[in-house]
């Protein structure tokens, strides 16, 4: 296993508050791990806090941050990182990830905005990641983000991501749906892009659905079922990198739990197919 891999396995599901009650009725083995945004749970007590504790005692968890704003020019939010570290320790969280983007500029902007793909940005982001890792006492993972414009671009997206990860010595949260969305919006080949990423640095993966704004415009919403091109790219990813732990994201338009679990089971199906394929290739070799 790669040193970058978080200590989870199999097929996971993002835990949302609306799912706390419905998921209590499922068989534990239907989900292998879960993920929460720490900002939504830090210092939450009472009934919500007790429910979260029941889940973190039942399943392995990872955290996916929303507001660290790693690409911002504002000072790094050290207070948030310290609260995240306490939350990680309290709930025995297996890893922490954030978006390779920014969401603040002398105040919170309530959106994930693209970092210019430049050498200067690489150095700036990498320095902030190293500072964050020093505070947390662990390596973090950065997610390849969806974006809708490319201000000041001097490098390709894949070159920028690879350079940040190498200079910061951090890991990659590979979002399969974001590759599909960006490939359509910016006119590139999704599999070719995937092959250019440092897949040995992947900590775990995300998969989700998106919104069709137009034939050549997709919006990353996490509000729909996963589409066939994303499943196909996930399968290709497993062929290249093995059965990486993968989590289903669904933020709104949340369907009945049975439908979510069917998608989680689909992830596991592709993982099992990949494992079988690897064994067969090993025997033939």
pLDDT digits (tens, 9 = 90+) for 63-102: 999 889 888 888 999 999 999 999 999 999 999 999 998 6
1 found inside a domain: no
Supply the pLDDT for residue 104: 41
Q: Is 50 exposed, middle or buried (0-12, 13-18, 19+ CB in 10 A)?
A: exposed
6 found inside a domain: no
2 found inside a domain: no
Look at residue 283 and tell me whether its pLDDT is greater than 70.
no
Going by the DSSP 8-state scheme, the letter that residue 163 receives in this structure is H
Supply the pLDDT for residue 210: 84
Give dist(CA 214, CA 201) in Å, integer.
34
Q: What is the mean pLDDT of residues 231-239?
A: 97
Mean pLDDT value across the chain: 91
4 found inside a domain: no
Number of domains in the chain: 1
Supply the pLDDT for residue 23: 96
pTM: 0.94
pLDDT digits (tens, 9 = 90+) for 109-123: 445 667 889 999 999
Supply the pLDDT for residue 67: 83
Supply the pLDDT for residue 103: 62
61 found inside a domain: yes
pLDDT digits (tens, 9 = 90+) for 163-193: 999 999 999 999 999 999 989 989 999 999 9
233 found inside a domain: yes
Give dist(CA 177, CA 161) in Å, integer.
16
pLDDT digits (tens, 9 = 90+) for 154-171: 999 999 999 999 999 999
Give the CA distances from residue 66 to residues 174, 195, 214, 248, in Å, rounded to whole numbers and listed in that order.
Answer: 16, 27, 27, 17
Supply the pLDDT for residue 112: 64
% pLDDT > 70, the chain: 94
Q: What is the mean pLDDT of residues 32-51?
A: 95
Supply the pLDDT for residue 242: 95
Higher pLDDT among residues 104 and 89, named by residue: 89
Q: What is the mean pLDDT of residues 194-202?
A: 98
Give dist(CA 268, CA 137) in Å, integer.
31
Supply the pLDDT for residue 1: 66
Query: Which residue range(s) make up the domain with 172?
Result: 11-284
151 found inside a domain: yes
Supply the pLDDT for residue 102: 63
Q: Residue 116: give its domain's CATH number.
A: 3.20.20.150
Helix (H, G, I), strand (E, B) or coil at 207: strand
Tokens of 127: 């320095």
Cβ atoms of 150 and 117 within 8 Å: the answer is yes
Supply the pLDDT for residue 149: 77
């Amino acid at each position: 296993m790669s040193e970058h891999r978080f200590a989870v396995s199999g097929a996971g599901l993002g835990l949302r508050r609306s799912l706390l009650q419905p998921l209590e009725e499922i068989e534990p083995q239907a989900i292998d791990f879960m993920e929460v945004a720490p900002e939504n749970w830090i210092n939450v007590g009472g009934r919500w806090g007790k429910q979260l504790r029941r889940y973190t005692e039942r399943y392995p968890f990872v955290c996916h941050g929303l507001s660290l704003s790693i690409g911002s020019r504002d000072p790094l939010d050290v207070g948030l990182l310290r609260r995240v570290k306490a939350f990680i320790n309290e709930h025995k969280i297996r890893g922490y990830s954030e978006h390779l983007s920014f969401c603040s500029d002398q105040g919170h902007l309530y959106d994930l905005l693209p970092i210019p793909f430049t050498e200067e940005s690489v150095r700036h982001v990498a320095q902030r990641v190293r500072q964050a890792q020093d505070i947390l006492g662990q390596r973090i993972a950065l997610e390849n983000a969806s974006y809708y414009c490319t201000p000041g671009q001097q490098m390709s997206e894949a070159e920028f991501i690879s350079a940040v990860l190498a200079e910061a010595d951090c890991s990659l949260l590979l979002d399969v749906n974001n590759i599909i969305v960006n490939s359509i919006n910016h006119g590139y080949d999704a599999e070719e892009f995937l092959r250019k990423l440092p897949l040995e640095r992947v900590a775990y993966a995300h998969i989700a659905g998106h919104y069709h704004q137009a034939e050549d415009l997709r919006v990353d919403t996490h509000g729909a079922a996963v589409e066939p091109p994303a499943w196909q790219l996930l399968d290709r990813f497993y062929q290249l990198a093995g059965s990486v732990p993968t989590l289903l994201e669904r933020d709104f338009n949340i369907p009945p739990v049975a439908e979510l679990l069917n998608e989680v089971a689909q992830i596991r199906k592709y993982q099992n197919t990949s494992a079988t394929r690897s064994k067969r290739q090993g025997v033939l070799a």
